[in-house]
Chain A
């Protein structure tokens, strides 16, 4: 079955510290992978996406993610977290079809300590 797992429901980091949010997926074929961010009361904004090619992808706001096929993972990283990064983060997987529908993980809430 197709699924996305984000093992960490809540993460707290200090401002300026590094961040890694984990994402594991189960998908029958080579997937498209996405990370979205949701600020309180807002919709979802795309941070970055992986379709093919270089397995390390850069996104907005200084985020990056690495696709590791052997581990079925697509972890999100940021070297230095800012207080404005506090939000909920969703990993999602999509298929290589023309429907574009996505399967989302449960989400990870990031809290940033001053």
Chain B
């Protein structure tokens, strides 16, 4: 059981380049999330998808787009990377359960550097 799988694990981009971070979960979860982690700031929610076919902005959505391709996959796209987007990105998912009564499972993270 792989859980939440993110690719790639590491990436270096030049300013202005684009890229897509991939995330897949095999737990049949409805909800998926993208967070970024920066020193001293904890994890901040970029976008989330409460169910297949829906996406919503989180706390820090500017400069990002997302696609909920199907129930398993939720991708994060940087259209024009900026140095301020240097961060560690985590994908997470959570199951249906009772309303809100679930825990989030996290991937191993993608360390992105924009130069």
The interface of chain A, by Cβ under 8 A from chain B, is 4, 6, 9, 32, 34, 36, 41-46, 49, 51, 90, 92, 94-107
Give Cα A51 to B56, complex, Å: 24
State whether A100 touches B100 (Cβ < 8 A): yes
Q: Which of A49, A90, A99 has the most chain B CB within a 10 Å cutoff?
A: A99
Give the contacting residue for B100; candidates A32, A44, A104, A106; CB below 8 A.
A32
Are A98 and B108 neighbours in the complex by a CB distance under 8 Å? no
A98 to B56, CA, bound (A): 13
Given contact pairs A43-B90, A44-B90, A106-B42, A51 touches B101 in the complex (Cβ within 8 A): yes
Q: How far is the CA of A56 from the CA of B37 in the complex (A)?
A: 29
Give min CB distance, A40 to chain B, whole Å.
11
Q: What is the bound-complex CA distance between A45 and B109, given in angstroms?
A: 12
Q: Which chain A residue has the least Cβ–Cβ distance from B96?
A: A98
A-B contact count (CB 8 A): 75
Q: How many residues of B are in contact with the other chain, CB < 8 A?
A: 30
In the assembled complex, which residues on chain B have CB atoms less than 8 Å from the CB atom of A43?
A: 4, 90, 106-109
Q: In the complex, A101 Cα to B45 Cα: how many Å?
A: 8
The answer to whether the Cβ of B61 comes within 8 Å of any Cβ in the partner chain is no
Q: Give the interface centre of B90, B100, B101 by most chain A CB atoms within 10 Å.
A: B100
